[in-house]
Amino acid sequence: MSLQSFIERLPKVELHMHVEGSLEPELMFEIARRNGVPLRYGSVGDLRRAYAFKDLQSFLDIYYEGAQVLLKEPDFHDMAMAYFKKAAEQRVRHAEIFFDPQTHTERGVPIAVVIEGLASAQREAERDLGVSSRLILCFLRHLSADAAMRTLQEALPHRDRFVAVGLDSSEVGHPPSKFRAVFDRAREEGFLTVAHAGEEGPPQYIWEALDMLGVSRIDHGVRCVEDAALVEHLRERRIPLTVCPLSNVKLRVFDRMEDHNLGRLLELGLCATVNSDDPAYFGGYVQENYLAVARGLGLGEQQIAQLARNAIDGSFLDAPAKRRLHAGLDACVREHAGL
């Protein structure tokens, strides 16, 4: 069995995927037509050609524009189901999915429409595709801390639909400390917490996410290597890093995949994982990310398997579910070894 075949057969867990970032151009145009929403791009091809990003902000400008087509529960259901079907094809067994309610509520879309549309897709995916999932409500860090608090309060009647809160959008200039109060409130309400940090922002943002927001894992975190004390802290506490390799190259965090530091993160003993971030925009879902790092960084079977194990360990699943996933992964490894 080749390494590519091993990766294709590997049971996977994904911990960093923005559902709005899985909206493929074809579905975007379909939803735009049925909702009567005009797009400034004349065709799917024109839109894809616009995916030449120079940094995070240039991506976010198009990302938020694409989300404008989402207005009704079926829109959110269809978007999420399209992701789940792709995930199932790539042997994703469990996914923990970010969603950005403020992207929609600021346009007058009720938060219940967003959450219930996604939740209906979750139920369908688990029943029909065997893909379990959890939702993580993210606050947009370029908006105010007060707006984040209002969003949390609006979401509390739907608290059974999501397990954690997170922090995403424009990182530079918006440190985690800005959102300390809303994360304190979220933890008081019983939610887990995660945050994007150390993608474009400095290692200090990772420290703030850990110390001020009480996060269980760091989304991205690739700049942690600039701070030896931080690396030691992350290693000792086995805090997961949800790394997104294709995204990092597409957004110029690294110029080439060959320059990515994922291999070094593993060598340092960190709990690094592989994820797709915004797969419709960055050229690949989780499997393409595994294949890209295997080829670009020369990772072998043991390193690939370790990345997959780290994702299981870093998930918010309970211990029995993690044991089942580890058993499936171990069986795949044994089969690859011919045992």
Supply the residues annotated as catalytic.
Answer: 199
List beta partners, residue 274: 243
Nearest CA among 2, 1, 10 for reference residue 289: 10
Classify 316 as helix, strand or coil.
coil
Q: Cα(299)–Cα(301) distance, rounded to whole angstroms?
A: 7
- 62 burial level (CB within 10 Å; 0-12, 13-18, 19+): middle
Secondary structure (H, E, C), 213-234? CCCCEEEECHHHHHCHHHHHHH
Q: Cα(129)–Cα(275) distance, rounded to whole angstroms?
A: 20
Q: Cα(183)–Cα(213) distance, rounded to whole angstroms?
A: 6
Nearest CA among 136, 137, 216, 208 for reference residue 179: 208
Q: In which region does residue 228 sit, left (phi positive, over 0), alpha (psi from -120 to 50) or beta (all else)? A: alpha
Q: Cα(258)–Cα(202) distance, rounded to whole angstroms?
A: 22
Contacts of 21 (CB under 8 A, 6+ apart): 63, 277, 278, 279, 280, 281, 282
Other CB atoms within a 10 A radius of the CB of residue 7 amount to 26
- 339 burial level (CB within 10 Å; 0-12, 13-18, 19+): exposed
DSSP 39: -
Q: Cα(35)–Cα(42) distance, rounded to whole angstroms?
A: 17
Q: What are phi and psi of 213, to 5 degrees?
A: -100, -10
